[in-house]
């Protein structure tokens, strides 16, 4: 049983990693290897005070995001930036790490895929990609992992990490995991 689940987790992890390489393949296919593009850094495109240039102010996209950078692939020029230097946790990497930790916990016998997880108010209030779970609903750990893998569910990650298992059973992991998952 554990071997089957381990294979399943490995397949999911590989699929997520492969999905992330699509952009790299596109750059390789569409870029001209004879003419390398030198990307300017975001700080090069800002004024001395770190504020956006006049050109960037005109763009005023009013994006509802924490940070954004738009770079011209041909010239390497930064066309738009919004909080480009703001430190943010790597969302998808955190989700892959959540799945890895869950499968390690299953393998170590700390949890079972059939363990119930009750959805908290915090988990249900997550935005972005989600499973749209309601407060008080109960799902198995396996269902949450499927939601993380298939729809990149933020609410499933929070339900797993914060309220039910991370604090109680996985707190022995290295601090790097703990710091990354709790950002």
Alpha-carbon gap, residue 54 to 68, rounded angstroms: 17
Rounded-to-10 torsion of CA 117, 139, 162, 66: -170
For the chain, what is the mean pLDDT?
Answer: 71
What is the pLDDT at residue 114? 94
Which stretches of the chain score pLDDT less than 70?
A: 1-4, 7, 9-60, 89-91, 162-183
Orientation angle between helical segments 141-151 and 2-19, nearest 10 degrees: 20
What is the pLDDT at residue 40? 55
Q: Which helix (H) or strand (E) holds 160?
A: none
Catalytic residues, which ones?
A: 92, 95, 152
Count of CB atoms within 10 A of residue 143's CB?
17
| pLDDT tens column, 144-172 | 999 998 988 888 988 877 544 555 545 55
What is the pLDDT at residue 99? 87
Q: Which of 97, 159, 165 is nearest to 130 (CA)?
A: 159
What is the pLDDT at residue 71? 84
What is the pLDDT at residue 144? 92
What is the pLDDT at residue 25? 46
What is the pLDDT at residue 137? 93
Q: Which domains does the chain have, with CATH numbers?
A: 31-82 (no CATH), 89-181 (3.40.710.10)
∠ CA 181-182-183 to the nearest 5 degrees? 100
Q: What are the b/e assignments for 158-175, b being 16+ CB within 10 Å?
A: bbbbebbbbeeebeeeee
pTM: 0.47
């Amino acid at each position: 049983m554990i071997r089957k689940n381990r294979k399943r987790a490995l397949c999911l992890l590989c699929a997520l990693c492969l999905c992330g390489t699509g952009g790299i393949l596109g750059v390789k296919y569409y870029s001209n290897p004879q003419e390398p593009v030198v990307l300017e850094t975001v700080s090069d495109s800002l004024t001395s005070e770190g504020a956006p240039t006049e050109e960037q102010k005109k763009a005023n996209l009013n994006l509802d995001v924490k940070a954004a950078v738009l770079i011209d692939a041909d010239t390497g020029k930064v066309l738009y930036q919004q909080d480009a230097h703001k430190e943010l946790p790597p969302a998808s990497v955190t989700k892959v790490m959540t799945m890895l930790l869950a499968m390690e916990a299953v393998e170590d016998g700390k949890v079972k895929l059939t363990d119930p997880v009750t959805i908290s108010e915090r988990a249900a209030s997550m935005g972005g990609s989600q499973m749209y779970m309601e407060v008080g609903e109960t799902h198995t750990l396996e269902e949450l992992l499927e939601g993380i893998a298939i729809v990149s569910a933020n609410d499933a990650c929070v339900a797993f990490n914060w309220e039910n298992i991370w604090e109680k059973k996985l707190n022995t992991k290295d601090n790097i995991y703990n710091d990354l998952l709790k950002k």
